[in-house]
Amino acid sequence: MDSLDHMLTDPLELGPCGDGHGTRIMEDCLLGGTRVSLPEDLLEDPEIFFDVVSLSTWQEVLSDSQREHLQQFLPQFPEDSAEQQNELILALFSGENFRFGNPLHIAQKLFRDTELAESGFVL
């Protein structure tokens, strides 16, 4: 994850929050072998999660090298691999189902549900 290391280790700017104390609740997550702290709201609120994890972020925020790094984790196809990967990325960010659901929707639900389970709150 060399090309993404700075994104995972640079401190976030913590501005004023609704509680007026200027701090946010952060959750530790393990991404690959790297422990990162992410804002709790990002993990729990689907609207915020999908504003950040979006096609526009993929296209407009990530650099070419970051996209190339992430694309190595996508399936490789025997013919027109780059084109098929682009179609896969569009399907992923548009919410299409992949056999048992959309991986991004599943990930957000797991983030949210894990948080609820850890707090002792059960639906």
pLDDT at 106 over 60: yes
Whole-number Å distance between alpha carbons of 44 and 26: 11
Give the tens place of pLDDT for each residue, 47-75: 999 999 999 999 999 999 999 999 998 88
Q: What's the whole-number mean pLDDT along residues 81-87?
A: 91
Whole-number Å distance between alpha carbons of 61 and 13: 17
Check residues 93 and 31 and name the one with the higher pLDDT.
93
pLDDT at 121 over 80: no
pLDDT score recorded for residue 23: 62
Whole-number Å distance between alpha carbons of 22 and 93: 32
Number of Cβ within a 10 Å radius of residue 47: 8
Q: Where are the domains of the chain?
A: 26-118
